[in-house]
Structure 1
Amino acid sequence: MAPATSTQPLVVLAGPTAVGKGTVAAYIRENYPEVWLSVSVTTRHPRPREVDGVHYHFISQEEFDRLDAEGGLLESAVVHGRASYGTPRQPVLDAIADGRLPLLEIDLQGARQVRQRMPDAHLVFLEPPSWEELVRRLVGRGTETEQERAIRLATAREELAAKSEFDRAIVNDDVRRAAEELVLWMRNPQRDES
């Protein structure tokens, strides 16, 4: 396998809530050491089994606002009207400069900001096999109240409609297969997909 070069574009993985972005990213983290995964900051509380500095950097709203105001975030958003999320800018720029295969796993709002700030970035839309499967995954997580699930599902319908804004779509019907497809494409995003 050839090492990544400094011409590797930033790849952004986004998609609707509960589609499995985090699960696909975790699989890539464990199986593809050549891929550099950005660790976002968030003001929400950790979910069970989430580790600070691995899954997210969990920070206060005050610290988030300071970082954003100082230009330290590549993108930032309030997600589901509740918590702030953002991508620290400097680690991304460092990974690109080091010739790594850089990957951001973020929400739709963040993907749109990255597209504006880094037009050469490649956006990948992770989609569910069906709406029913997306609902099943969200309910099955058991991490949200019924009211929070309703908000997330309403957001997911809007997010699914944004698929056409992306450079590529990958169906997450199997985590390993979706991760492998993404990494293969990251290694050669200019490849003709027809």
Structure 2
Amino acid sequence: KIQYLTTIESLEKQKDGKYISVAGIIRKAKRVTTKKGDMMCFLEIEDFLGVVEVIVFPKAFYDNINYLVPDIPVVVRGKLDKSDDNNKIIADKVIGLEDYTPEFCIIVKPEQEDNAFFSKITETLQENAGPCPVYMYFMSSKKMIKGNREFWIDGSETIVNNLKNLLGKNSIKQR
């Protein structure tokens, strides 16, 4: 499940049930008790372009309780729910923005799967080593692997542009 940070405004164009990530500030946090006695929460998240309701069911509530208060910048990951007139996100993760580390996915086309090409990719990744995990998606086998720590990158514009030049314009995605 690859998800990329998206704006709240762009949720209109997304499909129901799509797994998404949104960054914003919690405007409201209303905690409620379920019939079973568990806690859950309804959040209102705002970015520069809009507002969206986020539903945090008990499991996600207890896993993310420290971030479920107003005025905290967060990244919310979950499924988009368009079952009524308003877009909602059913959260499975709420991360403080300061704890969010972007991840990158490199899309490798079948014709790029050879040792010489992998040597160039490896060299490029190691030139800009850093804390951001790198995944490789192989189009031929539809398989994704997470790169070893030595192949993680700094997430800079430089590395992203170098990888685009090496692999093609749409070959690297941030998630």
TM-score when normalising by structure 1: 0.25
Structure showing the higher strand proportion among its residues: 2
TM-score when normalising by structure 2: 0.27
Structure showing the higher helix proportion among its residues: 1
CA radius of gyration, larger in: 2
The higher relative CO (CA closer than 8 Å, separation ≥ 6) is in: 1
